[in-house]
C-alpha cells in the first residue's frame, strides 16, 4: 500500500493528486469502510518515512491541500525519467545525423539500459495511474532496444545482436519496427531465407489477430530482400538521413512510428 501510494505521487510529477484519485489507486472499487481515514493514515506513514530519509530537507516533500496531496520531486531524481530523457537525447542526435560512430552511440544506449534492474516499479500493480506509467516506461525500454539494435546493425554487428533481437521480437511479435530490424539483421548475416520467413510469419500474425497487412514500408523491405537490393548492406544511419532516393525506395525513416526517423 505504501509503495503504491509513493509511486502514484511520484508519477504525478509534482502536481496535485486528488483524494478521489488516490483512493481509487489504492483500493479500486473495494475501499474500506472509513476510506478517508485509511488514506490519511497511509499518507501520514509515508510522510514520516520521507522525513527520516531526508532529515536535511528544509521543506517537507509531501504536502497537503484541501483537495489532495503533492509530492515535491524533480524529474532528475527519478531514474526512470532520467533513462527516458537520456535515450531521447541520443535519439535526437541520431535523427539529426550527428552520430559519427554508431558503435560508440550504441554503447551509450547499452549503458542506459543497464540501469534496468527488473520490471517497472518492481512489478507493483497499483491502480490505473501506476499501470499507465508502468506501461509507458516498459514501452520506452522497447523503443531504446530498437534504437540500440539499429545502431548495432549500422555498425556491422548484425550477427552479434541476432540472439537478443530474436528473443525481444518473440516477446513482442506485433512490433513492426522489431520485425523490420530482425529482417535486416538476418539478411546482413547472410540469412535471406530466414529474413523472408520472419516477414511472412509477422504478416500472418497481423492477419490472424488484427485483420490487417504490414505497412507499405515493411512490404518494401521484403521486396528489397527478395531483390538483394544493395541498399540493405549500406549504413542505415547515413543512407536513411542523407539519401532521398533511398528514402523513396525503402522508406528508411522509421516505418512503424513515422514521427521519428529510425534508419
What digits encode the pLDDT tens for the residues 240-257? 444 333 333 343 333 333
Report the pLDDT value the prediction gives residue 237, as an integer from 0 to 100. Answer: 58
pLDDT above 70 for 36: yes
Find where cell 499501470 sits. Answer: 131
pLDDT at 123: 87
Mean pLDDT, rounded, of the chain: 86
**pLDDT for 259 beyond 80:** no
Q: CATH topology for 2-73?
A: Arc Repressor Mutant, subunit A (1.10.10)
105/238: higher pLDDT: 105
Which residue, chain included where needed, has cell 536535511? 56
Residue 213 DSSP code: P
Find the mean pLDDT for residues 200-215.
93
CATH fold, domain 77-250, is 1.25.40
Tell me, what's the pLDDT at 99?
86
Task: Give the mean pLDDT of 61-70.
Answer: 91
Three-class SS of 153-210: HHCCCHHHHHHHHHHHHHHCCCCHHHHHHHHHHHHHCCCHHHHHHHHHHHHHHHHHHC
pLDDT of residue 242: 44
Residue 235 — pLDDT band, cuts 50, 70, 90?
low
Domain spans, the chain: 2-73, 77-250
**Of residues 109 and 29, which shows the higher confidence score?**
109
Q: Taking Cα atoms as reference points, which of 58, 85, 78 lies closest to residue 14?
A: 78
Residue 78 has pLDDT above 60, yes or no: yes
Instruction: Kindly report which listed range (94-108, 174-188, 228-242) carries the lowest average pLDDT score.
Output: 228-242
- In order of 6, 130, 139, 198, 199, the CA distances from 135 in angstroms are 17, 9, 6, 26, 26
Which pLDDT score, from 0 to 100, does residue 184 have?
93
| Cα 95 from Cα 63, distance rounded (Å) | 41
Q: Looking at the predicted structure, is the pLDDT value of residue 59 above 90? A: no
Higher pLDDT, 241 or 105: 105
Are 178 and 146 within 8 A, CB to CB?
yes
Amino acid at each position: 500500500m505504501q509503495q503504491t501510494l509513493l509511486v502514484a505521487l511520484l508519477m504525478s510529477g509534482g502536481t496535485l493528486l486528488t483524494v478521489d484519485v488516490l483512493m481509487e489507486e489504492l483500493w479500486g472499487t473495494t475501499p474500506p469502510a472509513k476510506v478517508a481515514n485509511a488514506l490519511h493514515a497511509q499518507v501520514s506513514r509515508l510522510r514520516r518515512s520521507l522525513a527520516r530519509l531526508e532529515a536535511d530537507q528544509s521543506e517537507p516533500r509531501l504536502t497537503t491541500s484541501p483537495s489532495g496531496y503533492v509530492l515535491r520531486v524533480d524529474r532528475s531524481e527519478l531514474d526512470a525519467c532520467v533513462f527516458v530523457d537520456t535515450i531521447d537525447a541520443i535519439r535526437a542526435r541520431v535523427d539529426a545525423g550527428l552520430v559519427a560512430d554508431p558503435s560508440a552511440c550504441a554503447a551509450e544506449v547499452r549503458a542506459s539500459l543497464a540501469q534496468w534492474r527488473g520490471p517497472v516499479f518492481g512489478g507493483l500493480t497499483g491502480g490505473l495511474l501506476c499501470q499507465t506509467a508502468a506501461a509507458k516506461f516498459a514501452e520506452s525500454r522497447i523503443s531504446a532496444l530498437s534504437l540500440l539494435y539499429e545502431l548495432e546493425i549500422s555498425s556491422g554487428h548484425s550477427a552479434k545482436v541476432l540472439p537478443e533481437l530474436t528473443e525481444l521480437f518473440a516477446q513482442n511479435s506485433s512490433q513492426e519496427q522489431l520485425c523490420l530490424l530482425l529482417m535486416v539483421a538476418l539478411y546482413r548475416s547472410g540469412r535471406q531465407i530466414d529474413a523472408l520467413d520472419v516477414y511472412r510469419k509477422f504478416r500472418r500474425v497481423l492477419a490472424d489477430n488484427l485483420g490487417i497487412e504490414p505497412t507499405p514500408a515493411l512490404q518494401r523491405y521484403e521486396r528489397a530482400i527478395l531483390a538483394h537490393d544493395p541498399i540493405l548492406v549500406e549504413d542505415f544511419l547515413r543512407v536513411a538521413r542523407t539519401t532521398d532516393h533511398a528514402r523513396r525506395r525503402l522508406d528508411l525513416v522509421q516505418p512503424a512510428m513515422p514521427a521519428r526517423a529510425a534508419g
